[in-house]
Structure 1
């Protein structure tokens, strides 16, 4: 039997065996004497192909491969929050303490610390019926997160024996469930396959925005809770910085940050910054509600693919507890490059730019796991996916960006020229879009103000007109334009520098609530309408520009705080006074 399970070919992370009936498709296996983690990805009558999630250095032909009978799964339970893991959810801090700064091949340190104890509050009694996903105990995992222990999917029954509330370790049994298939022991953790979506009761329509505090997103290109967004941009355009802002300020309950194929020093910077960032909700460290999954560019390429699915599985686990989770994937281009490398080693026929022909289906499977759900325990939770894309040379026509556009509904295109102008966030308003605006219209009308969407449409119209007029002015000079068109250019400048551009290091400007965003665009449009009436009476625009009122409106983002105030009415009154004084 063992002769059938021996390695015949080793090609990087791809290992081939001869004909064998010992393995199932997508089964997790252990490869070689160091028992490296692998996954069966192809079975035929002549060979079985395995991709290995660890370095294959030292493997040799003839080494054995051991079946497990299980899919590639991760351990889910208390202790995940606030930690950093590799692509297959091994704790990097524990590995560092045990093996040093580099991950040793075959390292089998579990995701959860089996010696750590937790104060468990049991919520059920003997004789209670427990269905799939029902909560049987809770743990205060961090200062921000209550961890809810749930009956695993596809299991239901009667509580046969229940331990009292108290202190338990992760592997301790707190409940025995009597099911049709026999007794099932429920511990503080459960396992789940990373490439299989966790089941839900119902997928809901997306009707609530994910508030980020970033004006260009919340006002012009919003994303719904449970929605998907892509952030494409070349090197140095601020993808990571924008994701940091979203992680800190978005109103998601939990952040899962996946560094997929990024440089090691960049992930180090993320870890250092996140531990220093203060959560504005709790005034504690942001890591209390953050999970980091790091698969850096020097780690095995196959694990880069696994890291994306691992992050999704962790996000879905906390969604099942009733939390709203935002997953930041930085970057999906590195994941696609991993697919391309493995596909090449498998000698598959390449598609555009060498990517495998199944690239679109893999991208769609990733983004389709987002959504607002009614969970099996009847709680409501969501997973919002925000994926960065790193097209070479900022070429948005390359396959990863184009296929991503097919499956996301918010597209925030970063512009290198804006980044060089220190314009943050460097989202190009002419290339970006959001398809969620119609789904969210009722929320804006009922929760914020019915005027908000009308103002938004006018702002976009002015920006589009300003773009056309600037092209004319660059060819023929601005002197040929009439004053009403010059006004459009000036108001466009006010919108760009006074509204769209934000200062992430300014305490007032780093996060802006929606009510202030509404007041800001209302004030800008008030300035536009008042100036237009002034021009229509035969007066010169230059007279208003000399007054400095345009620059005063730009400065309102710093000078007016984020609390509700009547300072915007005062600013409108100042606009009226300034224009009246010119008359």
Structure 2
């Protein structure tokens, strides 16, 4: 095939303008100069192409050659993805290091999936079977935790005429399918253009929660399986820790973590921590079900823009196998800054705060690729892709364009608050500003599977926290003593919710994860204390005596109870609560 060739006319940072590219297409990948730098066409005028280069362009000059590959920016999907660490355009960082040493050299070409690795292919289909796109023809045990299902690529339909089990690398033919266009050879690997969402049969309504074991999330602001959430917060408020907790504990089979424009040392922490983290569900390393994409803030800007698409395409591939996938994007603000820089170099008309006018639609295109879907293929598996995007607004001001555009798209907003973080209250999710629009659609799941009173208990918690914020204004002006006894009790109950329920220590072996059964018991204890005390107060008990009951310490420490002791401990605390409340009433009688 004749590739389109052009000549560089202008270089402006990561943007290269080349003439003579009439036969090239939008979004084609090109090789720039004799250094073979990788780039992508993002604009065409007559025969002049604007190319964003994914590598450092210093030293390039007019007159050098540009060659189109004739194919869009694509990722390789197949065995070898899990446990890999890629840059923004799916180049494996460990392989680049072998070629170029510790410092990234330009123009390095290494395959995304390792060609030297052999995989054991176990066929599940046989000769004579009629197959279509999405059907599984066999499996490869990729890690101890993940079985990769080898699927028929999109656009292929026909009869299997040859299929053999055995050991193969990702480029060798494992099956031959006779289609209306002739015979097609299938390998363990398929390619997919990153800017195009992978197809599915249909999207389902979100009606199941993605359980995370984080109390403030599961109880107050739950995210649906296949849902989207935004975590905006200022510097130091714990965005990255929350994403680590969700990666560790969320009920997902596969985790894709994109470090998009983050600090190098934060990415180093992730790369060092994830291999050492024990996956609580399997006992193996968390890396055995994780794909990492590391694109630090000092890497070229254009690749940062691509990293988000690379990550979500890999996530969709595992979703198509019928897995539940959680994608963490940290952070979409840095991605939007890359868009802004490229848009400025293209001399496009800027929108708000210099961001391009299409910022909102690009964000929507990204988040819309999440969902709980029925996959392609005759049997149609259930797969889910949940997306959690961190947003880093400058100075923590969420009225800026990226936060606002994100909030218009996502249904869950976990607003991080630097004041809570300074008070060492983690997770620092502000319960007054955060929200989840999934509560109505997934509330039924909680009432059916956990407790019929779940939504009532949640509502009582929220009401107490809102009442506390109103009373807080009075306390600041005139002091706690000015409050009536019922209001004093309300303030104490809200303090108990904040300190005993919402505060969760991610580094404590028991408190780091709370099952839904335990969350429901903790809610019952905190609300039980408030309602029984309120009744005692109406019957003449002293508010100070109620506040100082020793049982409150036991209620607070219930979160450190092991799962197998929950029922016994819960019953004991409830009995103690009844006895101590009765004692406060007896004292009043004398």
If the length of structure 1 is used for normalisation, what is the TM-score?
0.98
- CA distance change for structure 1 residues 46 and 119 in 2, over 3 Å: closer, same or farther? closer
Number of the residue aligned with 2:548: 546
Q: Is the counterpart of residue 356 in structure 1 residue 347 in structure 2?
A: no
Q: Of residues 560, 580, 583 in structure 2, which corresponds to 1:581?
A: 583
**Correspondence for 1:556:** 558
3-state SS of 1:243 partner = helix
Note if 1:77 corresponds to 2:78.
yes
> Contact 2:4 / 2:22 at 8 angstroms: preserved in 1?
no
Partner in structure 2 of residue 242 of structure 1? 242
How big is the shift at 1:579?
1.1
| Structure 2 partner of 1:35 | 36
Return the offset for 1:58.
2.2
Deviations 1:83-102 (CA, angstroms, capped at 9, x unpaired): 10000110001111221112
What CA distance in whole angstroms lies between the structure 2 residues aligned with 1:145 and 1:453? Answer: 35
Counterpart CA distance in 2 for 1:265 and 1:341 is 24
Distance 1:574 1:316 in 2: 51
Paired position in structure 1 for 2:161: 160
What residue number does 1:62 align with? Answer: 63
1:570 alignment partner, one of 565, 569, 572: 572
The aligned residue for residue 177 of structure 2 is 177
Aligned to 1:441: 443
Contact 2:6 2:65 in 1 (8 A): yes
Question: 1:310 and 2:307 equivalent?
Answer: no
What are the within-5 Å matches in structure 2 for residues 419-434 of structure 1? 419-434=421-436
* Structure 1 residue matching 2:567: 3-state secondary structure: coil
Deviation of 1:560 (Å): 5.4
Supply the distance in 2 between the matched residues of 1:170 and 1:539 (Cα, whole angstroms).
Answer: 74
CA distance in structure 2 between the aligned counterparts of 1:137 and 1:537, rounded to whole angstroms: 70
Partner of 2:229: 229
**Contact 2:3–2:70 (Cα < 8 Å) also in 1:** no
CA distance in 1: counterparts of 2:215 and 2:236, whole angstroms: 21
Say what the alpha-carbon RMSD is for the aligned residues: 1.4
Aligned residue runs from structure 1 range 18-167, under 5 A: 18=19, 20-45=21-46, 47-163=48-164, 165-167=165-167
Give the whole-Å Cα distance in 2 for the aligned partners of 1:2 and 1:68. Answer: 6
Once residues 281 and 477 of structure 1 are traced to their aligned partners in structure 2, the CA distance between those partners, rounded to angstroms, is 48
1:486 positional shift: 0.8
CA distances 1:246-300 after superposition (whole Å, capped 9, x unpaired)? 0001110000000000111111100111011001111110000000000001111
Answer yes or no: is the 8 Å Cα contact 1:516–1:562 preserved in 2.
no
Does the 8 A contact of 1:206 with 1:225 survive in 2?
Answer: yes
> What is the CA deviation profile of residues 472-507 of structure 1, one whole-angstrom value per residue up to 9, with x for unaligned ones?
110111111101011111001000000000011111
CA deviation after TM superposition for structure 1 residue 314, in Å: 0.1
Distance in 1, Cα, partners of 2:141 & 2:487: 60
How many aligned residue pairs are there? Answer: 582
Q: 1:415-465 CA deviation, whole Å, 9 max, x = no partner? A: 111111111110000010000011102211211111001100110010000
Shift of 1:2: 9.9
Whether the aligned pair in 2 keeps the contact of 1:329 and 1:388 (CA below 8 Å) is yes
Contact 1:86 1:294 in 2 (8 A): yes
Is residue 400 of structure 1 aligned with residue 402 of structure 2? yes
User: Structure 1 residues 329, 562: closer, same or farther in 2, change over 3 A?
Assistant: farther
Q: Which residues in structure 2 correspond to 1:188-207 (within 5 Å)?
A: 188-207=188-207
Contact 1:512 1:562 in 2 (8 A): no
Q: CA 1:2/1:525 → structure 2, altered by over 3 Å: closer, same or farther?
A: closer
- Aligned pairs for 1:246-325 (under 5 A) are 246-325=246-325
Alpha-carbon displacement from aligned partner over 1:357-382 (angstroms, at most 9, x marks no partner): 11001110110000001000211101
Matched position secondary structure for 1:407: coil
> How many angstroms does 1:540 deviate by?
2.1
| 2:508 equivalent among 484, 506, 509 | 506
Give how far 1:349 is off: 1.5
The answer for the alignment partner of 2:420 in structure 1 is 418
Task: Give the secondary-structure state (helix, strand or coil) at the position aligned to 1:328.
Answer: strand
Contact 2:15–2:51 (Cα < 8 Å) also in 1: yes
Kindly report which structure 2 residues correspond to 1:413-492, keeping only aligned pairs within 5 A, or say none: 413-492=415-494
CA change 1:562–1:259 in 2 (3 A) is farther
Task: Find the residue that maps to 2:440 and give its secondary structure.
Answer: coil
TM-score, length-scaled by structure 2: 0.97
